[in-house]
Amino acid sequence: MFKLGVDLGGTKIEGIVLNDELNEVYRKRIATEQQKGYMHIINNIAALYHDMAKQINLAPHTFGIGTPGSVSKYTGLLKNSNTTCLNLENLVKRKVAIGNDANCFVLAEALKGAGRNKQMVFGVIMGTGCGGGIVYDGKLIGGLQGIAGEWGHTSIDPNGPLCYCGKRGCVETFISGGGVENRYAELTGIKIPVEELIVRYRKKEKEAEEIIGAFFKHFGIALSNVINILDPDVVVLGGGLSNIPEIYTFGINEVQKNIFNDQMETLIVKNVCGDSAGVFGAALTGV
C-alpha cells in the first residue's frame, strides 16, 4: 500500500508518496502562503493531497500530516501548536493522521537516516522552536498524553526567560533559533537572525561569543538530562541550529561534562534526511 505524507511548515508545504518498500515515488513542494489565510492553507494541502493521489491512480494508500503540536484526546483539537488550520478531512474525504513534527523527524531518521539500526533513538529539532521525539525498536513512543520527547518545555532555570508556555527557563528559550536571537537582543538591544549571530561569533564579537557560549552550555545541560533519563543509543540533531559545526565539538563537550557517567557512549550526530525528514515521517504515520 502506498503511503502519502504532508509536512506543513510556516513557509512551505511538502508532500511525498512512498511505495511498499518505503522508496520515494513522488514529491512536491508548494508555498504555504500563510498571509492568505486559513482556508487558503487548507485548500493548498487538499490540492496537494489530490495531486499525490492522482499520481498513483487513486490506489489504496494511507495519509498523514506532520505539524507542530499534537492532537488532544479530550477535544480532538491541536494542542501545543502554533498551527490551527487542520480541519481537513471534509475536503479530502478521508481520515487524516496528524503527527507531531519532531516525532515525524525522529521516525524518519530512525528508519532511513542517522539512527538506522539503533534500538533507542532520540531526535532533536532546534529551529524556530525546540522539539524532540523518541523511537524504540523502530516504533515511535508517543506517550500517554502525546508529549513524550518534549524536552523543549522542560525548565533548566526557574528564574530564566518567560516561555510562551507560561513557565520560565524552558530549554526552548535558550537553544532554539528564536531563543538565541532573543538572548542576544536582551544583551545588545539589537535583534538579528541567528545566522548573522553565528557570523559575528566567528568574528569573535564579544557579545556574540557570550551568547553562543551560553547556547553550548545550555545545550549540554538540557541534552545531558535527556540522556540521563533515556540513555539512548543515538541522538540525532535537526533544525537550523543543527547546521552549526561547533555544536558537534563544543556542544558535545558540554554534554559530556554533565551526564551521569564517567564516559559518554551515546552518539550525537547530524541528521541524514535533512529537511525532508518531516514529510517522510508524516507518510509513515498515516492512516
Instruction: Give the tens place of pLDDT for each residue, 220-262.
Output: 999 999 999 999 999 999 999 999 999 999 999 999 999 999 9
Band of the pLDDT at 76, cuts 50, 70, 90? low
* CATH dotted code for 117-271: 3.30.420.40
Instruction: Give the tens place of pLDDT for each residue, 129-161.
Output: 899 999 999 999 999 988 899 999 999 999 999
Residue spans of the domains in the chain: they are 2-103+276-284, 117-271
Rounded to two decimals, what is the model's pTM? 0.86
Tell me if 97 sits within 8 A of 63, measured CB to CB.
Answer: yes
Kindly state the cell numbers that stand for 255. Answer: 554534554
Pick the CATH number of 2-103+276-284 from 3.30.420.40, 3.30.70.141, 1.10.530.10, 3.40.190.10: 3.30.420.40
Q: What letter represents residue 158's amino acid?
A: P
Count of other CB atoms within 10 angstroms of residue 265: 9
Which pLDDT score is estimated for 56? Answer: 96
Instruction: Give the tens place of pLDDT for each residue, 33-69.
Output: 878 888 898 889 999 999 999 999 999 999 998 876 6
